[in-house]
Structure 1
Amino acid sequence: MLARRTKQLRSHAWYVALLAAALQVFIPLHLQLSHFYAVDTLLAFFVVLTIFACVMWVDSQRPFLWAGLAGVAYGLAMATKFSAAPLVFSLLIAGWLRWRQRRDFFDFAVDFFWAAILMVFVFFFTQPYALMDMPNFIQQVSEQGSLVRGSLDLPYVRQFVGTLPFIYQGQNLLLWGMGITAGVSAIAGCLWLLWFLRRNLNSSWLIVIVWVVVYGGIVGSFYVKFMRYLLPIYPFLTVIAAAFLVVLLQRIGQFDHHYMERFAWLKPCLQALLLFIILGGTIFQGLALLNVYSEPNTRIQASNWIYQHIAPGSVLTYEQWDDALPFPVGKHTPEQYTQATYMDSNGQSTTGLDLYGDDTQAKAQQLATLLPTVNVIAMPTDRLDKSIPRAPERYPLTIRYYQLLFSGQLGFHLAAQFENHPHLFGITLDDSSADESYSVFDHPTARIFVRDPHYPYTSQQLLEKLMAGLNLPPK
């Protein structure tokens, strides 16, 4: 519907709409987040509804109705996730375009005020705790703001140390979020649309591109760069990509040169080839991602391996901030194994290796004491071993631990590894370089390290091996 209401391409609106819908159905990140019923999919829906109402408001003979719908949708988007706040710019642009057409400031002011009232009412009605417990609501929103800006240090966002704003998000959007063919089309489409708007500022496309640029600019500058944060601009990038492709196909069809007279058959072939590459590439990448769900989760595969190969009563350990393996599978339960237990810095009994903790002499001693008592180190994801090396100044000891572990110098060997990358028709897409959030929930790489039959180190020898030549960071 949004594609059909952009009047500058109205003669080809159905082509744009159908192509955009076909692309959107197979956008990989949308498929993945829909699989998990993530809140970002609901946010994207209400954002699209808001932008659509804004576009309709500009040219409608019933502006009061569409301004009201824009306000309601905006309120629902805000209640879903407070990051929808920049939608106010889209409402302002829509009102400005309406005013440029009608030159009636009173008409604009009434419609905008009406939309604002409905937005506030719907927001508090659907998010009542923002009113009932406002101090706590403000505090939590503020904490999330601190987190995304990098001023709140939590282990699960340390993967973004050293990543470049905009570049990191753009790379993940292009390669994995939208897929290469749809992503390239979207980027080219945005450049084309900006060029088009130079002399067409009255176009309703301005509402769309302002949202993409403003929201993308804000989120792109964040320290925390989860791929799902950009989902609210994906539908609009898809529509822009579809519009650009339709224009490009049209230009190919209209291309006329005396050299082409003998090869007129080439034009429909080029059009079909371009459409096949863009649409076919997106369908392939979307289905390849969906195919990971045709196999058991790698955590389940690793759990099955443990039940089949590790004797009951063995001592296992895992990494804190990750899952403890094995999971219950069939008649097997984790209780047939023992999780290694030790006293943490607060004197509390705990399990799991505290590898995100600060690198200290006490941490080295803790590892050296615990590892000789363990039979299996289970790593159901590569969450820690990929993020910790990004901060060598902070984690020299832990990086040394991983180097020794993976090289077999800790007295453990890699006994099993389970991978399940997107794949289709025998072609595997290695997404190990994608953002952690793209794989960690549904197809992480799981590893199981088993203690060597004759463990070669005492705790003291292991401590010396871990600490040799290291300068620990100051507290």
Structure 2
Amino acid sequence: YVTFFGVAAVYWLVVAVQEGGEGRGAQGVGRGAVWVAAVFVGLAIGSKFGAVLLLLPLTVAIWFISVDLSEFEPQSSQRTQRKEAKSLRSLRFNVNQNRFVGRLVGAGLVVFAAFFVTNPFAVLDQSCELLTPAVQLGSVTIPAIDWRSCYLDNILLQGRMVRGELNAPFTFQYDDTTPYLYYLEMQFKAGMGPQLAVPAFLGFAWVVWGVLARKGAKAQRGNGSADDADRGGFSRIAGKESVKISSNLRRWSLSVFAALREKLSQADSAQLVVLAFLLPFFLSTGNFYVKFMRYLQPMVPFLMVYEAALIWQLRSNWLRWGAVVLVGGGTAVYALAFVNLYQQEHPWTTASKWVYANVEPGTLILSEQWDDALPTTLLLPDGLRRRGEYRNAELTWLTGSGARDNATKLDDNLALLAEAQYLTLMSNRIYGVLPRTGDRFPISSQYHQLLLDGKLGYEVVWINGRFPHLGFLRLIPNTFGWPGLQPSSAIVDYLTDQNGLNWGRLDESFTVYDQPLTIIFQNTGHLSAAEMKRLFVLQ
């Protein structure tokens, strides 16, 4: 939803700027488009709070349709230049500022109304305790305030999570991942595929560079007029109150408005509106500790447009149509590989059928906390088979980090391993993280390699996965390489038989549900908890 509403909001803001500038005619079109855009901004924020960044392009668009840039067109005669300088000093804030602020407030009310209609309890639920501490500002003390907003409380909690300040096990996978570059890597490998991602981000960089270069050139061309106005004595703002400001700030302000006198083209204004959303969004989201691939989804439609623009501006017809064939054909092949993946039965379903056929009801089957468990309830030819036919217990390796990753936690898990007959690794959700986080889990991080080596008495009896493929060629994620694990010979043999290309590391959220490598172990060694404990290095 946030992607759809976000694209719709930016679209209508572009319409507002292109058709509604006060100096460009079409007086009512821009204002009407802004109100439509404001509705979509409110809906987007209601879908996901990160869409609050859409308020930036909303503000920029309202600025463009509120300021009559034609008032600052360069004049030829000295007399008209002095008249222009006087107009430049006042900036017509008595008119334009009121116009801008009025429309901005009106749009803000529309945004709030759309948000409230779709999320009424975000405003009405005041049952939580949300305290801000007292603040001392000189001689004034601002008392502690209880905002009571559950919505704000949840937003702050999620903010702590994405910054890595919340000890959430499902985010530990992002330890030691590089801001921005990790997102690019995952989009290149999985989210968009290399054939889409490379030209898309090149197009994004090309547009940003082009807009900044044009603005820089215009500012340079406007410096002369700005300096002339500066020498005339720019000491009043809004023609009301004399304000002494630094020479650098004065020169910068005049340079900006001197550049505006040249009238930004409609295309430039529209690009600035779009980039007012994309640049802050990418710079803030890309720097998160938590880097779920879906966080960049609101950018993808715009990246596709930039990619198309980059390809279309190629001067050679051969290059242009060659790029179209390469990108379009590569995308079709990539999509077909995933169509083939989804035509296969899910590994958890296949594994559940194996359990029902080979494991006696009432058997204890271990799973890992934060992951799923086997079997799942299935309607089979011989009737309905239920998950509750088997006992299940969870190994808590990924719960309790730091000082809580201790001998007591180890004893509890080893007791379950000694009792159980079967153990499942449903995906790489746990073993893809624990071995990489020895600082968080000094004891638990040793577990998976001991398991894969067969030292805990468990052996692989069943393994299956599904992967994107074309014919016999498969793209196989390397779930063991990043955590530094050496898989057992049974796992190596299975992966070798798949005739696959090593896809390298992939974001766990991309593989864990749709294409998990599922492994079932059987307790053949029947080691005691004490025997297994001697294999761990305790600190």
- TM-score of Structure 1 vs Structure 2, range by shorter chain: 0.7 to 0.9
Q: Is the Cα–Cα contact under 8 Å of residues 380 and 445 in structure 1 kept in the other structure?
A: yes
Match of 1:247 in 2: 313
Alpha-carbon distance, 1:156 to partner? 0.9
**Structure having greater relative contact order (Cα 8 Å, sep ≥ 6):** 1
Alpha-carbon distance, 1:392 to partner? 0.8
Q: Indicate whether 1:168 and 2:234 are aligned.
A: no
Q: Indicate whether 1:236 and 2:302 are aligned.
A: yes
Aligned partner of 2:474: which letter? Answer: T
Alpha-carbon distance, 1:426 to partner? 3.5
Q: Is the Cα–Cα contact under 8 Å of residues 407 and 538 in structure 2 kept in the other structure?
A: no
Q: Is the Cα–Cα contact under 8 Å of residues 16 and 30 in structure 2 kept in the other structure?
A: yes
Distance 1:47 1:314, change over 3 A: same
Aligned partner of 2:60: which letter? Answer: I
**1:149-298 paired onto structure 2 within 5 Å:** 149-201=163-215, 202=264, 203=268, 204-248=270-314, 251-253=315-317, 267=318, 270-298=319-347
Aligned partner of 1:51: which letter? Answer: V
Q: Is the Cα–Cα contact under 8 Å of residues 302 and 380 in structure 1 kept in the other structure?
A: no
What CA distance in whole angstroms lies between the structure 2 residues aligned with 1:367 and 1:198?
58
Gap regions ≥5 residues in structure 1: 1-41, 254-266, 340-350
- 1:384 is paired with a residue whose SS is coil
Q: Indicate whether 1:416 and 2:462 are aligned.
A: yes
* Deviation readout 1:88-146 (Å, 9 max, x if unpaired): 11112223333364557255444333322211111112110121114111111111111
What CA distance in whole angstroms lies between the structure 2 residues aligned with 1:298 and 1:235?
32
* Deviation readout 1:138-169 (Å, 9 max, x if unpaired): 11111111111111111111111111111111
What CA distance in whole angstroms lies between the structure 1 residues aligned with 2:151 and 2:526?
55
Q: Is the Cα–Cα contact under 8 Å of residues 418 and 526 in structure 2 kept in the other structure?
A: no
Q: Is the Cα–Cα contact under 8 Å of residues 63 and 111 in structure 1 kept in the other structure?
A: no
Alpha-carbon distance, 1:196 to partner? 1.9
What CA distance in whole angstroms lies between the structure 2 residues aligned with 1:463 and 1:471?
9
Alpha-carbon distance, 1:227 to partner? 0.7
Alpha-carbon distance, 1:438 to partner? 0.8
* Deviation readout 1:164-210 (Å, 9 max, x if unpaired): 11111111122211111111011111221123213545311222223
Q: Is the Cα–Cα contact under 8 Å of residues 311 and 320 in structure 2 kept in the other structure?
A: no
Match of 2:358 in 1: 309
**1:133-148 paired onto structure 2 within 5 Å:** 133-134=125-126, 135-148=149-162
Match of 2:242 in 1: none
Alpha-carbon distance, 1:296 to partner? 1.7
Q: Is the Cα–Cα contact under 8 Å of residues 292 and 507 in structure 2 kept in the other structure?
A: yes
Distance 1:154 1:195, change over 3 A: closer
* Deviation readout 1:315-335 (Å, 9 max, x if unpaired): 211111111210012222223
Match of 1:464 in 2: 534
What CA distance in whole angstroms lies between the structure 2 residues aligned with 1:471 and 1:275?
58
Aligned partner of 2:528: which letter? Answer: T
What CA distance in whole angstroms lies between the structure 1 residues aligned with 2:70 and 2:338?
48
What CA distance in whole angstroms lies between the structure 1 residues aligned with 2:311 and 2:52?
31
Match of 2:395 in 1: 353
Match of 2:35 in 1: 68
Q: Is the Cα–Cα contact under 8 Å of residues 325 and 378 in structure 1 kept in the other structure?
A: yes
- Segments of 4+ moved more than 6 angstroms: none
What CA distance in whole angstroms lies between the structure 1 residues aligned with 2:513 and 2:349?
12
What CA distance in whole angstroms lies between the structure 1 residues aligned with 2:70 and 2:58?
16
Q: Is the Cα–Cα contact under 8 Å of residues 67 and 112 in structure 1 kept in the other structure?
A: no
Tell which structure's C-alpha radius of gyration is larger.
2
Match of 1:96 in 2: 63
- 1:233 is paired with a residue whose SS is helix
What CA distance in whole angstroms lies between the structure 2 residues aligned with 1:448 and 1:411?
13
What CA distance in whole angstroms lies between the structure 1 residues aligned with 2:345 and 2:45?
36
* Deviation readout 1:198-236 (Å, 9 max, x if unpaired): 354531122222322110111111111111111111111
Match of 2:509 in 1: 437
Q: Indicate whether 1:371 and 2:424 are aligned.
A: no
Aligned partner of 1:128: which letter? Answer: P
What CA distance in whole angstroms lies between the structure 2 residues aligned with 1:107 and 1:370?
70
Of all paired residues, the percent bearing the same amino acid is 29
With 96-105 and 146-155 compared, the bigger mean Cα shift is at 96-105
Question: TM-score, structure 2 length as denominator?
Answer: 0.71
Alpha-carbon distance, 1:72 to partner? 0.5
Distance 1:463 1:207, change over 3 A: same
Q: Is the Cα–Cα contact under 8 Å of residues 53 and 67 in structure 1 kept in the other structure?
A: yes
Q: Is the Cα–Cα contact under 8 Å of residues 181 and 278 in structure 1 kept in the other structure?
A: yes
Q: Is the Cα–Cα contact under 8 Å of residues 174 and 289 in structure 2 kept in the other structure?
A: yes
What CA distance in whole angstroms lies between the structure 2 residues aligned with 1:199 and 1:156?
42
What CA distance in whole angstroms lies between the structure 1 residues aligned with 2:8 and 2:211?
23
Q: Is the Cα–Cα contact under 8 Å of residues 437 and 445 in structure 2 kept in the other structure?
A: no
Distance 1:301 1:102, change over 3 A: farther
What CA distance in whole angstroms lies between the structure 2 residues aligned with 1:59 and 1:458?
74
Gap regions ≥5 residues in structure 2: 20-25, 72-94, 127-148, 216-263, 479-504
What CA distance in whole angstroms lies between the structure 2 residues aligned with 1:239 and 1:66?
21
Question: TM-score, structure 1 length as denominator?
Answer: 0.80
**Number of aligned residues:** 398
- 1:163 is paired with a residue whose SS is coil
Greater share of helix: 1
Match of 2:444 in 1: 398
* CA RMSD, Structure 1 to Structure 2 (Å): 1.8
Aligned partner of 1:329: which letter? Answer: L
Match of 1:116 in 2: 108
* Deviation readout 1:282-318 (Å, 9 max, x if unpaired): 2222332233221122111111121222233322111
Aligned partner of 2:58: which letter? Answer: L
Alpha-carbon distance, 1:417 to partner? 1.5
